[in-house]
Amino acid sequence: DAGVIQSPRHEVTEMGQEVTLRCKPISGHDYLFWYRQTMMRGLELLIYFNNNVPIDDSGMPEDRFSAKMPNASFSTLKIQPSEPRDSAVYFCASSLGTEYNSPLHFGNGTRLTVT
Amino acid sequence: AQSVSQHNHHVILSEAASLELGCNYSYGGTVNLFWYVQYPGQHLQLLLKYFSGDPLVKGIKGFEAEFIKSKFSFNLRKPSVQWSDTAEYFCAVNAVKAAGNKLTFGGGTRVLVKP
């Protein structure tokens, strides 16, 4: 079990550029979550999917943020255009939701810096 | 909506000292409760969880937590800390009726254990 895999580990980009973060959940997990971690706001849930379908995107800050899950093994979080205030660590997590007491498994995160 | 409050943002203590981190949540229904740990530069890992039964839960690395329903609390404890316990600790909650573990996290407590 390779765990949740995120790429890239670090991303530095200039304001206005498009940023795409990637996540591969644990095989067989049917829930996928995107969290953002900052010093000011802590861990915030941005969006989560069940069986590739977005269930709750109320945490997505604004229209510049979008997330997709084209299949059970891949998800992307896109920011277009990026702004300095988007700088944060973005975590992807997955869980086996059929056992809804199962814990979340987190990836190593992507540290995004927007200059 | 549920919310989670961790009272201490930073804790500094010496090796062998006892540790207790406070966590309170607000939600009127039945909840599942979790503590996650994030070691420096790493992803979040599950430390322990409470679903039902004995309110005193034992986790990995000598940690335990006690669920006190009347106080809406789930405090984390360790009798004798080690330098390797330096990390950030997050309390999290989800409503039992919410499938897929949509967790709400507290703001985290950074623990520094001095050798």
Residues A57 and B55: their CA atoms lie apart, in Å, by: 33
Tell me the pLDDT tens digit for each residue of B34-68.
Answer: 999 999 988 899 999 998 889 999 999 999 999 99
Question: Do A33 and A93 contact (CB within 8 A), yes or no?
Answer: yes
B109 within 8 A of B36, measured Cβ to Cβ: no
- Which of the pair, A96 or A5, is modelled with greater confidence? A5
Which pLDDT value is given to residue B102?
Answer: 73
Which stretches of B16-55 are assigned E, i.e. beta strand?
Answer: 19-21, 24-26, 31-38, 44-50
Chain A residue numbers with beta carbons less than 8 Å from the beta carbon of B42 are 108
**Chain B residues within an 8 Å CB radius of A88:** none
Nearest C-alpha neighbor of B3 from the set B27, B23, B31, B37: B27
- Out of A42, A43, A100, whose CB is closest to B99? A100
**Cα–Cα distance measured from residue B26 to residue B30, given in angstroms and rounded to the nearest whole number:** 11
B32: Cα within 13 Å, side-chain hemisphere: 21
CB A69 within 8 A of CB A11: no
In tens, the pLDDT along A6-40 reads: 999 999 999 999 999 999 999 999 999 999 998 88
Average pLDDT over residues B84-94: 94
Number of residues in chain A: 115
Higher pLDDT, A38 or A5: A5
Which residue, B77, B78, B80, is CA-closest to B67? B77
A108·B44 Cβ contact <8 A: no
